[in-house]
Every structure is written in structure tokens, then in C-alpha cells.
Amino acid sequence: MILIVGGAGYIGSHANKLLTQKGFETVVYDNLSRGHRDFVKWGDFCEGDLLNMQQIRSCFESYRVEAVMHFSAFCLVEESVQQPEKYYLNNVMGTLNLLQIMREFGVKHFIFSSTCATYGFPEKIPISEDHPQLPINPYGQTKLIIEQVLKDYDRAYGLKYINLRYFNAAGADPEGEIGERHHPETHLLPLVISAAMGLKPEIKIFGTDYPTRDGTCIRDYIHVIDLADAHIQALQYLVNQNQSDSFNLGNGTGHSVREVIETVRKIGKRDFKVVETGRREGDPPVLISSSRKAMETLKWKPQYEDLETIIETAWNWHKKRLSL
Ligand code: UFG
């Protein structure tokens, strides 16, 4: 049985679907603070909070958990700067509680959702795993703290883990059952789609004076199904090799904010208002992953390499959701 902590959220729910399709038994643990009950369409469900030890323990008592995938975290950079306590409590304390219960029940395999935000401002592009980790906001800091905790728990308790450092997750289940639904929504792609569908009056571009090809920030968009798939490869690696490691997950290509907007315009065949505004604090100009290590070691290969296909899956999901 695989425990998917945060399995009612965006990436966790896609992992749950893929794991189930591949024949794994799953149980989702989620407090539904940012996740959605209707995203738990596969496996079993334990409603609980990571700050409540008894709720975590009771889930482990009810299911024979063999490995844990941990997606549950607050993940908004700006919010983390304004409300760091919320981030340290949920992302750090919550994870420590989970690891403690795993120890109590002798569960030794852990897959952790880390982030490219642990690298801070990139010194070189593409970013590989040996790049210095110097986060510039509390969100990235909380993820790096857990990476450090895991290293120590491996040494002391034999816990084997994989840190998966995501770049920009995007897209949706191509069958349209689940997708990206955040409250509040701050991510570029769902906001552009909302503008194109007439649900928002405009899309704002945060900064047009970056040293990039069109002046806007460049990001490495990776399809959520490819992220889900990497978790399964990581799980297999842990089971076979019993060795801890860290991997970047991205496509290795960068797209600017303007390119994302233009691609949505093309797919949606609709015009909408674009407003150019100043930079958002803490945004690095370019983030592009080198995912060579994941490809070579985990035998992971992203299936959705092209931005248009990634955006199409997101567009279709939003369209389906709105017509319900
Ligand atoms: N952007 C806009 N307008 C918007 C929203 C975003 O121009 O309305 C721009 C941002 O400034 C950025 C790009 O679009 O340049 C992508 O922004 P997102 O908010 O979609 O994603 P981020 O790159 O900021 O964040 C992602 C993850 C975080 C992670 C971070 C690492 O969502 O969890 O990468 O830097 F921490």
C-alpha cells in the first residue's frame, strides 16, 4: 500500500491516478485545506492533518503502508514571505511528524516533493542537482530543511528517500478527470486560461525588462503526468536499489511568459487583455532544469515535451470543468 500524503492536491491526485492505473494500491492522506475531496477518485482516503499525530497514527494503523509519497505542502512563494510561520509549521513540522510515525511503523521508503526553489537565484543554466542550494524565500527554505533532515534520518535510521525537485508543474490529466485547481490561484498558466475563457478581465505580465529574449521570465514547464510518472520510477528505484538520491524534474527547455500567453491564445482561439506591470519580488529571470540524472538513473523520460500539448491538456480540463 502506497500512502499519498497530499493526494487530494494537484500533483498528488495525478500520481494517485497513475499509481492505480499501474496496479498499486493507494491510500490518500489529506486535510483538504488546499486539496479537493472530489480529486480522491482512486484508492482509499484518510482525512487528517499532519499537525495531528493521532490522525496520522490512526491512518498507519488502518493500512499496511509500505512507502510514502509526500506532496502535501503550502507552495506559494509570496505567501511564504508574508506568513513564514504557516510554512514552517505545515511544511517542516508536519513532515517531521509524518517521518516520526513512519519510524514508529518501520516504513523506510519516502518520496519527497522538493522544488527548484531550493536553488535560489541560478548561477548557471541549466540547473543540475549539484548547483548550490541557497533558497531566497521561506518556501524554498522549508523544502531544503526537509532535504537536510532526510539526509540525517538516512544516516541514523536507515530511511531511504528520493527528493524530486520539480520545476514548473503544468497541464492536466488528458482524460480530464482532474487538473489544476488552486484557491487562491497565483500560477501563470491557469490564470492565462481564465483570462482567455473570460473568467478574469486580464492577465498581468510581471516584468518585461528581464535579460531574456522577450524581456519576460523564462520557466521550464513540466507536465503533471510526467511528474507523476517520475514518482513511480523513483519508487521502483528505491525498492530495487535501496539508495537515497535527489533528482531534478523538468523538460530542459524554457518558455517565456509571453510565449505561454501566445500559446494559450492560439489554442483557445480567443483574444484577451494583457497588461504589462512591474516585476514580482523574488522571481529569477530564467529557471531551466537539467534532468539528465533522472533520465539516466531513473530511466525517466517526459512524454509531454512540447508546450502546446501541455497547455492543450490544461485548456481541455478547464473547459470540461466549466461546462459541468
Ligand atoms: N507570472 C505573470 N503573471 C501572473 C502569474 C505569473 O507574469 O499572473 C509570471 C511569474 O512572474 C513567473 C512566471 O509567470 O515569471 C511563472 O510564475 P508561476 O507563479 O506560475 O510559477 P513560479 O515560477 O513563480 O513558481 C513555481 C512553483 C513554485 C516554486 C517556484 C520556484 O509554482 O512552487 O516555481 O521558483 F517555488
One CATH from 3.90.1010.10, 2.70.98.10, 3.30.1490.20, 3.40.50.720 for 2-170+221-249: 3.40.50.720
Q: Which residue's CA lies nearest to atom 30 of ligand 1?
A: 117
For residue 69, give the DSSP letter. Answer: E
Listed in order, strand segments (DSSP E) in the chain are 2-5, 26-30, 44-47, 67-70, 109-115, 160-166, 168-170, 202-206, 218-219, 221-223, 245-249, 255-256, 273-277
Contact (CB, 8 A) for 76 and 143: no
Q: Rounded distance, CA 314 to CA 174, Å?
A: 8
Beta strand 221-223 with 168-170: parallel, antiparallel or unpaired?
A: parallel
Atom of ligand 1 nearest to the CA of 203: 8
Taking all residues of the chain, what is their mean pLDDT, rounded to a whole number?
A: 97
Residues of the chain with CATH 3.90.25.10: 188-219+252-322
Q: Is the CB of 114 under 6 A from ligand 1?
A: no
**What is the per-residue pLDDT for 236?**
98
Q: Which residue's CA lies nearest to atom 26 of ligand 1?
A: 168
Q: Which one-letter amino acid corresponds to residue 44?
A: D
Which residues 6+ apart lie within 8 Å of 21 measured at CB? none
Q: Is the CB of 168 under 6 A from ligand 1?
A: yes
pLDDT (mean) for 300-317: 97
Which residues 6+ apart lie within 8 Å of 104 measured at CB? 57, 60
Q: Which of 142, 203, 259, 280 to mutate to test the pocket of ligand 1 (most atoms within 8 A of CB)?
A: 280
**What is the per-residue pLDDT for 323?**
78
Q: Would you state the cell numbers that stand for residue 170, as one nine-digit string? A: 503544468
- Looking from the CA of 132 toward its CB, the CA atoms found within 13 Å total 8
Residues of the chain with CATH 3.40.50.720: 2-170+221-249
CATH architecture of 188-219+252-322: Alpha-Beta Complex (3.90)
**What is the per-residue pLDDT for 121?**
94
Q: Is the CB of 116 under 6 A from ligand 1?
A: yes
Q: Which residue's CA lies nearest to atom 31 of ligand 1?
A: 117
Q: Rounded distance, CA 313 to CA 123, Å?
A: 33
**What is the per-residue pLDDT for 229?**
98
pLDDT (mean) for 235-240: 98
Residue 59 CA, ligand 1 centroid: distance in Å? 34
Which residues 6+ apart lie within 8 Å of 63 measured at CB? 1, 3, 27, 44, 46
Residue 2 CA, ligand 1 centroid: distance in Å? 30
Contact (CB, 8 A) for 212 and 256: yes
pLDDT tier, 110 (very low <50, low <70, confident <90, very high otherwise): very high
**What is the per-residue pLDDT for 282?**
83
Q: Would you state the cell numbers that stand for residue 126, as one nine-digit string? A: 541549466
Q: What is the per-residue DSSP string for 246-292?
A: EEEE--S--EEHHHHHHHHHHHHT---EEEEE-PPTT--SB--B--H
Q: Is the CB of 227 under 6 A from ligand 1?
A: no
Residue 241 CA, ligand 1 centroid: distance in Å? 35
Tens-place pLDDT, residues 17-42: 999 999 999 999 999 999 999 999 99
Backbone angles phi, psi at 36, to 5 degrees: -130, 130
Backbone angles phi, psi at 146, to 5 degrees: -65, -40
Q: Is the pLDDT assigned to residue 318 strictly greater than 90?
A: yes
Tens-place pLDDT, residues 266-295: 999 999 999 999 999 889 999 999 999 999
**What is the per-residue pLDDT for 154?**
98
Tens-place pLDDT, residues 45-58: 999 999 999 999 99
> Looking at the whole model, is its pTM more than 0.95?
yes
pLDDT above 70 covers a percentage of the chain that reads: 100
Q: Would you state the cell numbers that stand for residue 178, as one nine-digit string? A: 482532474
Tens-place pLDDT, residues 139-187: 999 999 999 999 999 999 999 999 999 999 999 999 999 999 988 899 9
pLDDT (mean) for 113-122: 97
Q: Is the CB of 314 under 6 A from ligand 1?
A: no
Tens-place pLDDT, residues 191-218: 999 999 999 999 999 999 999 999 999 9
Q: Is the pLDDT assigned to residue 132 strictly greater than 60?
A: yes
Q: Is the pLDDT assigned to residue 324 strictly greater than 80?
A: no
Tens-place pLDDT, residues 57-95: 999 999 999 999 999 999 999 899 999 999 999 999 999
Listed in order, strand segments (DSSP E) in 154-234 are 160-166, 168-170, 202-206, 218-219, 221-223
Contact (CB, 8 A) for 70 and 56: no
